[in-house]
Amino acid sequence: MKITVRSAAEADLAALLVLYRELNPDDAPLSGAAADAVWAAISGQQGRTVLVADADGTVAGTADCVVMPNLTRGGRAILFVENVVVAGGFQRRGVGRQLMEAAVRLGESAGCYKVQLLAADDAYVHSFYEACGFKALAQGFRRYVE
């Protein structure tokens, strides 16, 4: 299986929505118009790259990356990674690892001093990120806004 990681295009939107349903199956689906509007906002945002892993012509995984300018660390930015998901049929086949390697390269090319993400409280997910070279160095906090 040949895996290619690239920036997502508008033509990938339907496949991304399928992947996000795997990530968050309880979410209500977006209407086509809403998804198009959100995609337009995402694709127009400076420093934002949605990566997709293409496995033999199928979008098998994705990672959403945002470069955040920063006034510390000598002005070096931070790359945040969110919404990482690999389709169930493609897990444990190198797709996730290639996505994370591409995210790190994206951070390097943007001059970032670190790549940061939050992970679910799941031992398998933690071991995956550790195998990709990430270290659990801080405790994350979040507050959902309704």
CATH number at residue 22: 3.40.630.30
pLDDT reported for residue 146? 85
Judged against a pLDDT cut of 90, whether residue 139 lies above it is answered with: no
In this prediction, residue 120 has a pLDDT band, given cuts at 50, 70 and 90, of confident
pLDDT reported for residue 131? 95
In a domain, 124, yes or no: yes
- CA dist., res. 141 & res. 2, Å (int): 37
3-38: pLDDT as tens digits: 999 999 999 999 999 999 999 999 999 999 999 999
Angle between helices 32-43 and 13-23 (to 10 degrees): 100
Please tell me the total count of domains within the chain: 1
- CA dist., res. 133 & res. 58, Å (int): 26
71-114: pLDDT as tens digits: 999 999 999 999 999 999 999 999 999 999 999 999 999 999 99
pLDDT reported for residue 141? 86
In a domain, 65, yes or no: yes
pTM of the model as a whole: 0.94
In a domain, 138, yes or no: no
Handedness of CA 57, 105, 66, 23 (dihedral sign): positive
In a domain, 94, yes or no: yes
Judged against a pLDDT cut of 90, whether residue 42 lies above it is answered with: yes
Nearest by Cα to 117 from 51, 33, 58: 51
- CA dist., res. 93 & res. 7, Å (int): 20
In a domain, 45, yes or no: yes
In a domain, 142, yes or no: no
In a domain, 86, yes or no: yes
pLDDT reported for residue 140? 85
In a domain, 141, yes or no: no
Domain that holds residue 88: 3-131
